[in-house]
Structure 1
């Protein structure tokens, strides 16, 4: 599979997280979506890790490869041309700077708004150009597949929790007004690390604000997650599968039963990493609070009620590593 070999990012030193894992984590849950009783394993994974891998997901390999190829074509453009499509509100192309609060990383990315069931052309002027027709087609087919996969996983979560209706989580993401986005990331090889057995921060530690994140990457390593005891472990890449993150919003809805996983990405000196992440978010006015169905007798809500719009404003004002949910705790 093709990868980019010529990094275009400014060559500056970025912080390397301490205690870099030296081997891959062997205890990551794997959920086979073709198995009828996979919901119990899925719930256990959400409670223990907030992160798991899904196989037999039904997303065509050809579609995944096509979108990755289109993303590589875009990231292969000259830096000057890519910067014509710089971030605005906050969609579009970005490099190194992550948000407006001082976070940086060794990466470049496209952040694209999803309008109903397709990518909104307002996210990026490049998508309005004739040369981007095949890119748009691949993006929209991929988004449709991600919405279906996210919905299937969320309904399995509800089944495993034994709550009704089964679409209690998925309807929030499938709503026509849902605030979902797609992010394409490129972590180029860092020349400063060549010849060294080291790595550099590609994307700093953080949790995802939405309900669910569906991640696919090429076969380059770099993704790391934090376990409950604070230990960081490296995730073995698998280009054939998808990785699922529990987000902050789902942690709230389950009153902390499901864990919003803290994760980060390391870049390296020789290999290019390309990832595609679908973030399934609620509508702007959706009110978020622990579901009464999941509160046991005498159990108190850990979070006060707030809207997704309130939480998103909080997220935009924070640093990546901040605990954004803290100010909404009871």
Structure 2
């Protein structure tokens, strides 16, 4: 019998998931085990993320990518690969230090000089949700490995970026491959997809596995900087 490998799905939808509780301690173990074995896991947020917010964030992302290239190229940062990047396979736009509302406002002004409260409010709401999730999971990892005393200083030195990505349909080359396999260079990444099943994760055994995205699920990835500690 062939057993198909699946990315672990961890339910973060409970309001009782708080530090010091039994459910928190149990989740710390599950999170760390999933990151050790797969480098990632699926987060189920349930009611914590509404279908409305899911739809809105993809709607506003579509609006951004519909702007002329010369407008999108005005998004610039000193950091490499930040701002706007375009290739034959995808387009990418990044808001650096995205938890600071003024940074979202700067990007908003590039596209809508007179302002766009709708875009700003949607982006800020989504970033807040993702930052809270990142802080929760990172705290779990630190606690599980007994280095929780470093958690506060780590988060104080952490900045969050918010990236919009639009992948183009890959050319029919016979390989069925879009963007080449890669790892992220920073500490953690959280990915949220629309209904297109484009993401695959490579296991320790070299097997490629995917998952069925939904409005309430996210992929939490241990990026290179976190994996150094394992």
Query: Shorter chain as normaliser: what TM range?
Result: 0.7 to 0.9
Q: Which residue of 1 aligns with 2:63?
A: 73
What whole-Å deviation, never above 9, does each CA across 1:158-181 have from its counterpart, x for those lacking one? Answer: 3433x253x7446523x2x52321
- Do the aligned partners of residues 30 and 168 (structure 1) sit closer, same or farther apart at CA in structure 2, a change above 3 Å counting? farther
Q: How does 1:229-240 map to 2 (within 5 A)?
A: 229-240=205-216
Q: Which residue of 1 aligns with 2:121?
A: 137
Q: CA RMSD in A?
A: 2.8
Specify the SS of the correspondent of 1:217. coil
For the 8 Å contact 2:108–2:119, the answer to whether it is kept is no
Q: Which residue of 1 aligns with 2:20?
A: none
1:172 aligns with 2:154: yes
What whole-Å deviation, never above 9, does each CA across 1:165-201 have from its counterpart, x for those lacking one? Answer: 3x7446523x2x52321111011335x44xx986342
Distance 1:240 1:123 in 2: 26
For the 8 Å contact 1:107–1:188, the answer to whether it is kept is yes
1:27 aligns with 2:6: yes
Distance 2:94 2:77 in 1: 10
1:118 aligns with 2:118: no
For the 8 Å contact 1:109–1:184, the answer to whether it is kept is yes
Q: How does 1:252-271 map to 2 (within 5 A)?
A: 252=228, 254=229, 256=230
Distance 2:67 2:136 in 1: 36
- Do the aligned partners of residues 60 and 156 (structure 1) sit closer, same or farther apart at CA in structure 2, a change above 3 Å counting? farther
Aligned pair count? 213
Displacement, 1:125? Answer: 5.2
What whole-Å deviation, never above 9, does each CA across 1:110-142 have from its counterpart, x for those lacking one? Answer: 111015543614567525622533212211121
Structure 1 stretches of 4+ with a deviation exceeding 6 A read none
Q: Which residue of 2 aligns with 1:62?
A: 52
Q: Which residue of 1 aligns with 2:192?
A: 216
Specify the SS of the correspondent of 2:181. strand
Unaligned runs of 5+ in 1: 1-24, 97-104, 257-330
Distance 2:211 2:102 in 1: 29
Distance 1:235 1:59 in 2: 19
More helix by share: 2
Distance 1:207 1:169 in 2: 24
Comparing both chains, which one has the higher relative contact order based on Cα–Cα distances under 8 Å and sequence gaps of 6 or more?
2
From 51, 72, 86, the equivalent of 1:95 is 86
1:38 aligns with 2:27: yes
Unaligned runs of 5+ in 2: 18-22
State the TM-score, normalizing by the size of structure 1.
0.57
